[in-house]
Every structure is written in C-alpha cells, then in structure tokens.
Amino acid sequence: MEPRYSRESKCYKTSRVFPTDVNNHNTLFGGKLMSYIDDIASIAAHKHCRRSVVTASTDSVDFLHPIKPSDSVCLEAFVTWTGKSSMEVFVKVVTEDLKTGNRTIAATSFLTFVALDDNKKPVPVPQVVPETEEETKLHESAPQRAELRRIRREESKKLAEFLTMKNPWE
Ligand SMILES: CC(C)(COP(=O)(O)OP(=O)(O)OC[C@H]1O[C@@H](n2cnc3c(N)ncnc32)[C@H](O)[C@@H]1OP(=O)(O)O)[C@@H](O)C(=O)NCCC(=O)NCCS
C-alpha cells in the first residue's frame, strides 16, 4: 500500500456559536464541541484510508479555554500515525474573536479510528508520512500514546468484566 501524507487527510470546519450551542455559562457546550471533534476526525481518517471507519477511542479532549458566542470556532484534523488497521487523528480547535481577530488554541484531542472491510472486520491502512514540524512532532510522539492506549484498553476490558449491568430497580 502506498503511504500517504498527513496533508492528504487534512480537513477544516469553521462554525459560529449559536444560542442553542451554549451552556449555562454562555460558552460553547462541551458536548457540542466533542461532537464536532468526532465528526471532523472521522472524515480525516476516512480520507486517509478511503475505507469506512469507526471511532475506537478518544484519549481525551482538553478544553483549554472557554469559547464565547462572539468567537468563531475552527477545527483542523489530520492523521498523525497509523498502526496496522488503526489511525491516530489529532484535532486542534482554534477560536477567533471576531471583533479583534485574536486567536486562541481552545482545545486539542487525539482519537483513534479503525478501518473496516465490507464484513466490518479491521483491515490494514496505508502508513502516514509527516511533512511539517507540527506533523512530525505528533508522528514521533504517537507510539508512546499508542502504548498508553493499549494499557488503558486492557484496563477497560477488566473493568467491564467487573461492572454490573443491573438496573437500580432490579
Ligand atoms: C474498534 C473495533 C472495530 C476493534 O475491533 P476488534 O475486533 O477488537 O479488533 P482488534 O482487537 O484486532 O483491534 C484492531 C485495531 O484497533 C485498535 N483498537 C481497538 N480498540 C482500541 C481502543 N479502545 N483504543 C485504541 N485502539 C484500539 C487495536 O489496537 C488494533 O490496532 P492495529 O490494527 O493498528 O494494531 C471494535 O472494538 C468496535 O467495533 N468497537 C465499537 C466501535 C464503535 O461502535 N464506535 C462508535 C462509538 S459509539
């Protein structure tokens, strides 16, 4: 399989903050931003492998700054690293105060997607080639994050075996 450049999976989305998108602090509702992040990250993964993909995990969403109704919200996503069938996608959220033009990194997130074949089984994906300084830094640090994810997945499986599925009234 031919490797692909990070830039080939890159996508962008810019949105306003509408009154229906805010929380009781009048800043963007976290769940709304998480939905934007999963949405754009899935497109980046899909563009990289040209296969259907599923979200396997979200490492974290770090909300670094509140997002105000007077801001625009721009998300950038691209594939930083690949395993065999999995792809790590980085999402950067940049807000712009529309009155002043000041920009802030409001959130960052790493997600993992898995490419599936027509029988919904994991299928190999092309490797990724970084070019810019940002892409290279994220590519080089990815194996460390993948190892932490592997450990966390084992822990999640053990926890799931222990947890009850009973409803409180049963
Ligand atoms: C993700 C999924 C396809 C993995 O399938 P599986 O049969 O467990 O496959 P494997 O164990 O062989 O893992 C396949 C790849 O996924 C990766 N993976 C699986 N679970 C992962 C997790 N929680 N975090 C990161 N990577 C994960 C594995 O490391 C492996 O990567 P590699 O091929 O690059 O080495 C399966 O668990 C699934 O369908 N989960 C639900 C996904 C979903 O519904 N998402 C929407 C959220 S509502």
Q: Is 55 in the pocket of ligand 1 (CB under 6 A)?
A: yes
- Find out whether 61 and 109 touch, Cβ atoms under 8 Å: yes
Domain presence at residue 105 = yes
Q: Given pLDDT bands bounded at 50, 70 and 90, which one contains residue 37? A: very high
- Sheet hosting strand 103-116, strand order edge to edge: 11-16, 71-82, 86-97, 103-116, 52-63
Looking at residue 60, its pLDDT comes to 85
pLDDT digits (tens, 9 = 90+) for 42-80: 999 999 999 999 999 999 899 999 999 999 999 999 999
**Nearest 5°: phi and psi at 101?**
85, 0
Domain holding 145: CATH number?
Answer: 3.10.129.10
Domain count within the chain? 1
Cα–ligand 1 centroid distance for 93 (angstroms)? 25
Instruction: Give the residue from 101, 89, 109, 104 showing the smallest Cα distance to 27.
Output: 104
pLDDT digits (tens, 9 = 90+) for 113-160: 999 999 999 999 999 999 999 999 999 999 999 999 999 999 999 999
Determine the average pLDDT of the residues in 21-37.
97
CA-closest residue to ligand 1 atom 18 = 56
**Ligand 1 atom at minimum distance from 85 CA:** 33
Q: Is 129 left (phi over 0), alpha (psi -120 to 50) or beta?
A: beta
Cα–ligand 1 centroid distance for 101 (angstroms)? 40
Q: Given pLDDT bands bounded at 50, 70 and 90, which one contains residue 14? A: very high
**Ligand 1 atom at minimum distance from 55 CA:** 45
Q: Is 61 in the pocket of ligand 1 (CB under 6 A)?
A: no
Domain presence at residue 88 = yes
Domain presence at residue 170 = no
Beta strands in 25-122 (DSSP E): 52-63, 71-82, 86-97, 103-116
Cross-strand partners of 74:
14, 94
Domain presence at residue 169 = no
CA-closest residue to ligand 1 atom 11 = 122
Q: Given pLDDT bands bounded at 50, 70 and 90, which one contains residue 28? A: very high
Domain presence at residue 104 = yes
Domain presence at residue 18 = yes
Q: Is 41 in the pocket of ligand 1 (CB under 6 A)?
A: no
Query: CA 82, CA 140: separation in Å to the nearest integer?
Result: 11
pLDDT digits (tens, 9 = 90+) for 76-104: 999 999 999 999 999 999 999 999 999 99
Domain presence at residue 167 = no
**Ligand 1 atom at minimum distance from 82 CA:** 34
Q: Is 112 in the pocket of ligand 1 (CB under 6 A)?
A: yes
Burial call 110-135: b when 16+ CB within 10 Å, e when fewer: bbbbbbbeeeeebbebbebebeeeeb
Residue 118 structural domain:
4-162
| Parallel/antiparallel/unpaired status of strands 128-129 and 4-5 | parallel
| CA dist list (Å): 31 to 15, 119, 141 | 15, 31, 27
Query: CA 21, CA 23: separation in Å to the nearest integer?
Result: 7
Looking at residue 111, its pLDDT comes to 98
Looking at residue 65, its pLDDT comes to 96
Looking at residue 138, its pLDDT comes to 98
